[in-house]
Amino acid sequence: MDWSLSSSLNMEMIQFLRRLVQTPSLSTQEGAVAALVVAEMQRLGLPDVRVDPMGNVIARLGTGEGPTLLFDAHMDTVDVGEQASWRHDPYGGVIEDDILYGRGAADMKGAIA
């Protein structure tokens, strides 16, 4: 099986990650990323998706019978600092040589996607 970044099996996930990276989400300002996550979960058919009063995305799949599995991830990122020090636009989601560049790509936005 081809698990490379360019594999057609991964293209939807990669495009979603690009949208996440292209959306700034400093601490306490994660609303736009939360909206993207909610929309993606709904697109994938999860029947119960919501944002709680603290801004956390909460979704449920299944009946609640049997073992429970919890996925937990933060949506915020630190500031980009000096944008000139970045090789690529930190909010660009640029892919070069099968590597996706941008703020949060390696720290949680990648895991969320």
- The span from the CA of 92 to the CA of 73, in Å, is 22
- The residues spanned by each domain of the chain are 8-62+71-76+87-112
Q: What is the pLDDT of residue 6?
A: 59
Buried-state track 81-106, b at ≥16 Cβ within 10 A, e below 16: eeeeeeeeebbebbbeeeebbbbbbe
Alpha-helical regions (H) of 1-113: 11-21, 31-43, 109-112
Whether 58 has a pLDDT exceeding 90, the answer reads: yes
Give the three-class secondary structure for 58: strand
Residue 109 CB coordination number (10 Å): 29
Contact 101, 92 (CB under 8 A): yes
Q: What is the pLDDT of residues 15-56, one digit of tens each?
A: 999 999 999 999 999 999 999 999 999 999 999 999 999 999
Residues 6+ apart with CB under 8 A from 15: none
Contact 10, 24 (CB under 8 A): no
Q: What is the pTM of this model?
A: 0.88
